[in-house]
């Protein structure tokens, strides 16, 4: 009995694919395509409106096209017993098709090559990255005032007093000097208009004018350390001299100063953060606080603004090795010229230390944040699909790396030398091409795999499970129909939405309809399967009450084509809410639901995704039954980690089975109380799925958010049955992986599903020396099944520089990516270590990173100065945000489920998402220009930046707060809320009224724009100043001290300085 509705119609590989009409096949007979310009092979399919952007809500209007069903319901509504048409004996054939581990062997049988050799230098131009060259003087020189309680390190109180007098009222920037600070160079000041862009290579301009009396140029200081020596090695970098390296003029002046105003005696840290035991303890009331001027310490807003001004106008061209891309907060266009776009891969550093000793000394983690299916901007070109014919993609014989721009052709083009392992491989006859006088193949520009950083290969049957081309995937919708789900209106909402949403299943190119089949299950303590075969007049229900040993009671008619079964499906979706309208069943099962979906996919021999809509802790008698084990008393104890661990290993085993089948599980949770996200999320997490959580779901306030999330989740680009392997050139090796996936060995990252929002962070370690000449290479290969059922390989290549000078490492770092890695590292750490240990380790590592810079790269200066590398000057503020986040230091209102949920979310976030999640964006709405499309300039996340007369918006990727000051003009309140005074704005408002005036339109358009930018629809919360909800809002003002004990930015910076000094002494 076959359950495959459409027979698999995978075209013979090797033939041009109809769906990729734009792409000129690169003639695997070996003939070049004379005169074919690069542009001629267009995108293999057009940008898909469905997933280029979050789906606009329009277009999903109620199912006008569905015929209404007047015939009587043939479904049995008795939910607790077997339906008359139960066909339980019709057990699905045992599909031991669960693939063996060896199935993946053809994909990546080899580990790293062990021959040392380099990368062809010709392929790796060594130009200094202009984007990475801060042209402002690099090191922030920040003498930190100390209190008498820091007896060991701090200057005597008298000198503090002196300092405060000396520096009172002064803004100190990176080069601000006491007497005559160069205009515009402070952190808080705008860039000088005369320096619109980064310096050109060789340009020595990025220093203030020499006429400034206190700007003394000196050569890089000889370092007393074992680290870098100034001199010849630098000459290999074809770029401007390192601006951060020479002692910055003005620093000398600051040695006597503090950074910023000293407002009074500084409190002891312990006293300042009662909730942070690791900062020391000092009983008794703190002395009145004196503090540093927040304006004088590095500002995230300024760094973001500066990068936008410097990098936003020009496209980022990826032809240069080791080039640091613009920040994630900068809107820029990418042009692929041989390296993967930063939308696909970002690194903590684009210049890797040559030796493991250097790397250890710096403590800078070497990691890449990879988003293999990232959505590009509409103007950017999707990866081309390349077909190398029946023998499959051309690969290195030894390490199996895929053909890429860094492979070097030799012997007239008959062989190529691998850029990863140096092994020489014969060029297959059909792939042969002559070389030009520079040694480049003459078809270089005709072949994406020779000239681009990212592209796809059509995989042959060798890359498929059981040597069989896959069937198109299936989506199974599994709806909790217990009492809570029905009463909240959720069941009706889901069914209503699915009627129209099913027309928007993922498809490619010009496909008229999606190849994805769909199936439906409802459940409470038992499961109800539905036969929606097109030939039926009415859907049929089959109930399985034996949840202990789950099976699928029907094969034919369960997974169907939407168009063919349209009438039956519509009828079913109409009937489900009615059938369960009077249910009294409150208990649910959970694991059997996943098992049912898994069995259905197994029977259909396809991969797919389960969309599970679930409301409560599964306490009904069944496998995977859970108990309520929430215990807030465990917080801050050694047992806190158990709150993040699953309460049973049952789900880990289930996850493994799901991954084997390519069954990805997306979970939509609607809890009214604890439902153990840490356990329920295990399968989702390990199968590459997504969790969405809507606590205390209410139709009026939450339905928009849920529906938008659901629409995007159903429509977004997703690859199934995916395996990712990261290869590296000799000398470094991928050693650790973070993200939502499963690993059955140490190298292959397996994901039942991988969507365009999911990110995998990969850490690298040295296993040998690297060379500055050859640099280092990464190749990420993702094997997956597309939504059409086509097996493909997506390849991303990235070349990095290597350095023998620590200063080069620090100059080419990216703090946002570093924070992404550190957060994921810490969030994984809480599973096995006490949270305090994790926090201390984070602080210690960052202190070591900064101390190493200070010791080896910064000019000699007094110990009272805090000197930060230019590229890392935000490390302290961002690190503090990670430390204060709810996972590592929960806020008062945060539940155990929230923490587990956030922990899982962050683990799959890309760099842009972690950036705004940890340091939210705060926009003064009342400063918005209603006549322009632009956003108002963001401000720093601190209460003291807020004015009572203004309205602000804060977003972090999950929530949008609109904060209204008590003194906001009545006119503005009228325009935005449609009421005449502040007091009339209702508490807990979650929408803005649609009003026809410029201010209302502007604010709503800003919110819409932000919603479009994020992968999840954010919850809107209106907060009135001095209302009790304001506490929630203030939790996100991350530069301030938090109620749960998190340090303020200023205090944390002082603490970091203390740590650094301790390391240096």
Residue 458 beta carbon to Zn ion: minimum distance, rounded to whole angstroms: 21
Site map 48..87 versus Zn ion, x via CB under 5 A: ----------------------------------------
User: Using alpha carbons only, what angle is made at residue 470 by residues 465 and 471, rounded to the nearest 5 degrees?
Assistant: 145
Identity of the residue, 401 or 682, whose beta carbon is nearer to Zn ion in the bound complex:
401
Q: How far is CA 199 from the centre of its chain?
A: 31
**Which residue stretch of 331-339, 394-402, 803-811, 1016-1024 sits at the interface with Zn ion (rule: CB under 5 A)?**
394-402
- Rounded CA-CA distance 462/466 in Å is 9
Identity of the residue, 399 or 916, whose beta carbon is nearer to Zn ion in the bound complex:
399
Identity of the residue, 292 or 724, whose beta carbon is nearer to Zn ion in the bound complex:
724
Residue 183 beta carbon to Zn ion: minimum distance, rounded to whole angstroms: 54
Site map 942..971 versus Zn ion, x via CB under 5 A: ------------------------------
Residues 6+ apart with CB under 8 A from 161: none
Identity of the residue, 420 or 668, whose beta carbon is nearer to Zn ion in the bound complex:
420
Identity of the residue, 416 or 784, whose beta carbon is nearer to Zn ion in the bound complex:
416
Residue 799 beta carbon to Zn ion: minimum distance, rounded to whole angstroms: 15
Residues 6+ apart with CB under 8 A from 756: 51, 371, 373, 374, 375, 716, 717, 718
Q: Which of residues 522-551 bind Zn ion (CB under 5 A)?
A: none
Q: Is 996 left (phi over 0), alpha (psi -120 to 50) or beta?
A: beta
**Which residue stretch of 128-136, 164-172, 388-396, 698-706 sits at the interface with Zn ion (rule: CB under 5 A)?**
388-396
* Residues shown for the chain: 1065
Residue 729 beta carbon to Zn ion: minimum distance, rounded to whole angstroms: 9
Identity of the residue, 91 or 415, whose beta carbon is nearer to Zn ion in the bound complex:
415
Residue 434 beta carbon to Zn ion: minimum distance, rounded to whole angstroms: 23
Long-range contacts of 176-184, Cβ-Cβ distance < 8 Å, separation of 24 or more: 176/250, 176/254, 177/212, 177/214, 177/249, 177/250, 177/253, 177/254, 178/253, 178/254, 178/256, 178/257, 179/214, 179/253, 180/212, 180/213, 180/214, 181/250, 182/208, 182/209, 182/212, 182/215
Identity of the residue, 341 or 417, whose beta carbon is nearer to Zn ion in the bound complex:
417
Nearest to 601 by CA among 516, 692, 686, 719: 516
Q: What are phi and psi of 718, to 5 degrees?
A: -145, 140
Residue 24 beta carbon to Zn ion: minimum distance, rounded to whole angstroms: 28
Tokens of 932: 């322009």
* b/e code 107-139 from CB counts within 10 Å (16+ = b): bbebbbbeeebbbbeebbebbbbbbbbbbbbbb
**883 is an interface residue for Zn ion by CB under 5 A:** no
Tokens of 750: 């397996």
Identity of the residue, 423 or 995, whose beta carbon is nearer to Zn ion in the bound complex:
423
Tokens of 888: 């590592």
Q: Which of residues 589-628 bind Zn ion (CB under 5 A)?
A: none
**Which residue stretch of 163-171, 210-218, 410-418, 902-910 sits at the interface with Zn ion (rule: CB under 5 A)?**
410-418
Residue 777 beta carbon to Zn ion: minimum distance, rounded to whole angstroms: 11
**Which residue stretch of 261-269, 401-409, 438-446, 964-972 sits at the interface with Zn ion (rule: CB under 5 A)?**
401-409
Longest dimension (CA), the chain: 95
Residue 425 beta carbon to Zn ion: minimum distance, rounded to whole angstroms: 8
Identity of the residue, 109 or 285, whose beta carbon is nearer to Zn ion in the bound complex:
109
Identity of the residue, 503 or 767, whose beta carbon is nearer to Zn ion in the bound complex:
767
**Which residue stretch of 204-212, 292-300, 413-421, 962-970 sits at the interface with Zn ion (rule: CB under 5 A)?**
413-421
Identity of the residue, 105 or 180, whose beta carbon is nearer to Zn ion in the bound complex:
105
Identity of the residue, 399 or 1053, whose beta carbon is nearer to Zn ion in the bound complex:
399
- Rounded CA-CA distance 933/926 in Å is 15
**Which residue stretch of 354-362, 416-424, 898-906, 990-998 sits at the interface with Zn ion (rule: CB under 5 A)?**
416-424
Number of residues lying near Zn ion (CB under 5 A): 8
Tokens of 435: 């070389």
Are residues 141 and 797 in contact, defined by beta-carbon separation less than 8 angstroms? Answer: no
Residues 6+ apart with CB under 8 A from 462: 106, 392
Residue 440 beta carbon to Zn ion: minimum distance, rounded to whole angstroms: 20
Considering only residues 167, 396, 527, 838, which one is a binding residue for Zn ion as defined by CB under 5 A? Answer: 396
Residues 6+ apart with CB under 8 A from 134: 206, 243, 244, 811, 870, 871
Residue 119 beta carbon to Zn ion: minimum distance, rounded to whole angstroms: 11
Q: How far is CA 229 from the centre of its chain?
A: 37
**Which residue stretch of 80-88, 219-227, 397-405, 933-941 sits at the interface with Zn ion (rule: CB under 5 A)?**
397-405
Residue 417 beta carbon to Zn ion: minimum distance, rounded to whole angstroms: 9
Residue in the structure block whose two tokens are 């009077």 = 582
E strand or H helix at 480:
strand 474-480
Identity of the residue, 727 or 921, whose beta carbon is nearer to Zn ion in the bound complex:
727
**Which residue stretch of 134-142, 161-169, 399-407, 589-597 sits at the interface with Zn ion (rule: CB under 5 A)?**
399-407
**Which residue stretch of 39-47, 415-423, 563-571, 739-747 sits at the interface with Zn ion (rule: CB under 5 A)?**
415-423
Nearest to 1039 by CA among 1027, 1053, 1026: 1053
Identity of the residue, 27 or 396, whose beta carbon is nearer to Zn ion in the bound complex:
396
Residue 114 beta carbon to Zn ion: minimum distance, rounded to whole angstroms: 11
- Rounded CA-CA distance 607/169 in Å is 65
**Which residue stretch of 337-345, 396-404, 511-519, 1033-1041 sits at the interface with Zn ion (rule: CB under 5 A)?**
396-404
Considering only residues 399, 494, 521, 669, which one is a binding residue for Zn ion as defined by CB under 5 A? Answer: 399
Q: Which of residues 801-840 bind Zn ion (CB under 5 A)?
A: none
Identity of the residue, 420 or 918, whose beta carbon is nearer to Zn ion in the bound complex:
420
Q: Which of residues 417-446 bind Zn ion (CB under 5 A)?
A: 418, 420-421, 423
Residue 683 beta carbon to Zn ion: minimum distance, rounded to whole angstroms: 36
Helices (H), 752-834: 806-811, 815-829
Residue 388 beta carbon to Zn ion: minimum distance, rounded to whole angstroms: 17
User: Using alpha carbons only, what angle is made at residue 421 by residues 417 and 424, rounded to the nearest 5 degrees?
Assistant: 30
Local structure of 505: helix, strand or coil: coil
Local structure of 319: helix, strand or coil: coil
Cα distances (angstroms) measured from residue 703 to each of 108, 200, 340, 700: 44, 52, 38, 6
Are residues 352 and 359 in contact, defined by beta-carbon separation less than 8 angstroms? Answer: yes
Identity of the residue, 424 or 1063, whose beta carbon is nearer to Zn ion in the bound complex:
424
**Which residue stretch of 301-309, 389-397, 820-828, 964-972 sits at the interface with Zn ion (rule: CB under 5 A)?**
389-397
Residue 351 beta carbon to Zn ion: minimum distance, rounded to whole angstroms: 24
- Rounded CA-CA distance 860/848 in Å is 18
Identity of the residue, 400 or 1055, whose beta carbon is nearer to Zn ion in the bound complex:
400
Residue 398 beta carbon to Zn ion: minimum distance, rounded to whole angstroms: 5
Nearest to 388 by CA among 335, 429, 343: 429
**Which residue stretch of 137-145, 393-401, 818-826, 914-922 sits at the interface with Zn ion (rule: CB under 5 A)?**
393-401
Local structure of 612: helix, strand or coil: strand
Residue 418 beta carbon to Zn ion: minimum distance, rounded to whole angstroms: 3
DSSP E strands, 490-578: 517-523, 527-531, 540-544
Tokens of 205: 């301009």
Residue 110 beta carbon to Zn ion: minimum distance, rounded to whole angstroms: 8
- Rounded CA-CA distance 572/248 in Å is 72
DSSP labels, 206-245: -S--TTSTT----PPPPP-SSS--SSGGGGGSBSS--TTS
Identity of the residue, 36 or 424, whose beta carbon is nearer to Zn ion in the bound complex:
424
Q: Which of residues 779-798 bind Zn ion (CB under 5 A)?
A: none
Name the residues that contact Zn ion, by CB under 5 A.
Answer: 396, 398-399, 401, 418, 420-421, 423
């Amino acid at each position: 009995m076959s359950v495959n509705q459409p027979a698999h119609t995978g075209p013979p590989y090797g033939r041009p694919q109809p769906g990729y009409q734009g792409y000129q096949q690169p003639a695997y007979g070996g003939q070049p395509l004379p005169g074919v310009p690069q542009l001629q092979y267009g995108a293999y399919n057009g940008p898909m409106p469905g997933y280029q952007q979050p789906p606009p809500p329009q277009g999903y209007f109620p199912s006008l096209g569905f015929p209404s069903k007047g015939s009587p319901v043939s479904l049995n509504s008795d939910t607790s017993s077997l339906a008359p048409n139960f066909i339980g004996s019709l057990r699905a054939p045992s599909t031991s098709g669960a693939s063996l581990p060896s199935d993946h062997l053809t994909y990546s049988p080899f580990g790293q090559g062990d021959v040392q050799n380099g990368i062809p230098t010709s392929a790796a131009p060594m130009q200094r990255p202009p984007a990475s060259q801060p042209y402002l003087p690099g090191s922030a020189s920040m003498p930190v005032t100390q209190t008498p309680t820091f007896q060991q390190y701090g200057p005597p109180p008298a000198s503090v007093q002196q300092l405060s007098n000396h520096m009172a009222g002064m803004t100190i920037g990176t080069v601000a000097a006491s007497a005559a600070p160069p205009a515009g160079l402070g952190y808080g000041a705008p860039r000088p208009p005369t320096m619109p862009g980064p310096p050109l290579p060789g340009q020595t301009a990025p220093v203030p004018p020499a006429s400034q009396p206190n700007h003394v140029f000196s050569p890089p200081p000889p370092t007393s350390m074992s680290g870098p020596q100034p001199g010849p090695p630098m000459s290999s970098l074809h770029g401007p001299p390192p601006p951060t390296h020479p002692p910055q003029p003005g620093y000398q002046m600051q040695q006597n100063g503090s950074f910023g105003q000293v407002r009074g005696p500084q409190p002891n840290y312990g006293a300042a953060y009662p909730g942070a035991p690791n900062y020391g303890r000092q009983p008794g009331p703190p002395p009145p606080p004196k503090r540093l001027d927040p304006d004088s310490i590095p500002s995230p807003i300024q760094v973001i603004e500066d990068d936008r001004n410097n990098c936003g106008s020009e496209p980022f061209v990826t032809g240069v090795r080791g080039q640091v891309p613009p920040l994630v907060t900068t809107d820029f266009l990418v042009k692929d010229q041989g390296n993967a776009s930063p939308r696909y891969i970002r690194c903590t550093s684009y210049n890797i230390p040559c030796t493991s000793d250097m790397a250890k000394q710096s403590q800078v983690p070497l990691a890449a944040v990879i988003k293999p299916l990232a959505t590009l901007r509409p103007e950017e070109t999707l990866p081309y699909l390349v077909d190398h014919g029946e023998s499959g993609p051309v690969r290195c014989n030894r390490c199996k790396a895929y053909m890429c721009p860094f492979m070097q052709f030799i012997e007239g083009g008959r062989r190529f030398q691998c850029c990863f392992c140096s092994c020489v491989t014969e060029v297959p006859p059909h792939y042969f091409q002559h070389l030009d006088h520079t040694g480049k193949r003459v078809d270089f520009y005709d072949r994406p795999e020779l000239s681009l950083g990212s592209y796809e290969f059509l995989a042959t049957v060798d890359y498929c499970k059981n040597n069989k081309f896959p069937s198109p995937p299936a989506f199974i919708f599994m709806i909790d129909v217990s009492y809570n789900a029905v009463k909240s209106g959720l069941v009706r909402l889901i069914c209503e939405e699915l009627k129209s949403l099913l027309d928007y299943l993922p498809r490619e190119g010009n496909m008229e309809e999606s190849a994805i089949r769909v199936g439906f299950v409802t459940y409470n303590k038992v499961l109800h399967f539905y036969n929606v075969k097109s030939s039926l007049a009415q859907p049929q229900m089959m109930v399985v009450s034996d949840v202990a040993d789950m099976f699928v009671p029907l094969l034919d008619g369960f997974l169907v084509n939407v168009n063919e079964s349209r009438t039956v499906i519509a009828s079913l979706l109409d009937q489900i809410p009615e059938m369960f309208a009077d249910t009294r069943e409150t208990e649910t099962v959970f694991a059997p639901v996943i098992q049912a979906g898994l069995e259905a996919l197994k029977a259909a021999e396809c991969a797919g995704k389960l969309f599970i809509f679930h409301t409560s802790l599964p306490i009904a008698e069944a496998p995977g039954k859970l108990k309520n084990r929430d215990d807030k008393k465990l917080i801050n104890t050694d047992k806190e980690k158990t709150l993040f661990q699953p309460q049973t290993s049952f789900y880990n085993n289930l996850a493994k089975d799901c991954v084997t089948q390519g069954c990805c599980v997306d979970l939509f949770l609607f809890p009214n109380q604890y439902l153990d996200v840490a356990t329920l999320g295990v399968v989702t997490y390990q199968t590459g799925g997504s969790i969405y959580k809507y606590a205390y779901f209410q139709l009026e306030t939450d339905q928009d958010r849920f529906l938008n999330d659901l629409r995007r989740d159903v429509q977004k680009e997703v690859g199934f049955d995916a395996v990712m392997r990261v290869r590296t050139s000799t000398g470094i090796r991928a050693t650790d992986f973070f993200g939502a996936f499963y690993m059955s060995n140490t190298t292959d990252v397996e994901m039942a599903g991988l969507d365009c929002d999911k990110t995998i962070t990969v850490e690298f370690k040295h296993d040998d020396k690297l060379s500055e000449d050859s640099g280092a290479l990464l190749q990420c290969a993702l094997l997956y099944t597309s939504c059409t059922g086509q097996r493909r390989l997506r390849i991303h290549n990235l070349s990095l520089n290597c350095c023998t000078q620590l200063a080069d490492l620090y100059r080419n770092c990216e703090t946002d990516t570093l924070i992404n890695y550190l957060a994921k590292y810490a969030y994984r750490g809480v599973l096995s270590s006490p949270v305090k240990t994790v926090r201390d380790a984070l602080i210690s590592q960052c202190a070591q990173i900064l101390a190493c810079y200070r010791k080896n790269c910064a000019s000699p200066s007094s110990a009272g100065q805090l000197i930060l590398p230019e590229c890392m000057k935000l490390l302290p503020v961002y690190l503090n945000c990670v430390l204060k986040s709810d996972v590592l230091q929960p806020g008062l209102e945060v539940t155990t489920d929230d923490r587990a949920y956030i922990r899982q979310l962050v683990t799959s976030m890309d760099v842009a998402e972690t950036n705004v999640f940890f340091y939210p964006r705060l926009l003064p709405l009342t400063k918005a220009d209603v006549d322009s499309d632009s956003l108002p300039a963001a401000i720093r996340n601190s209460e003291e930046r807020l004015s009572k007369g203004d309205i602000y918006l804060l977003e972090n990727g999950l929530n949008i707060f609109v904060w209204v000051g008590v003194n906001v003009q009545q006119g503005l309140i009228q325009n935005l809320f449609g009421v005449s005074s502040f007091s009339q704005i209702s508490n807990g408002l979650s929408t803005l009224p649609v009003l026809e005036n410029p201010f209302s339109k502007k604010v709503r358009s800003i919110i819409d724009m932000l919603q479009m930018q994020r992968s999840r629809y954010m919850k809107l919360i209106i907060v009135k100043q001095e209302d009790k909800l304001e506490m929630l809002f203030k939790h996100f003002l991350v530069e301030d001290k938090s109620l749960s004990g998190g340090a303020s930015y200023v205090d944390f910076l002082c603490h970091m300085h203390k740590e650094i000094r301790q390391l240096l002494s």
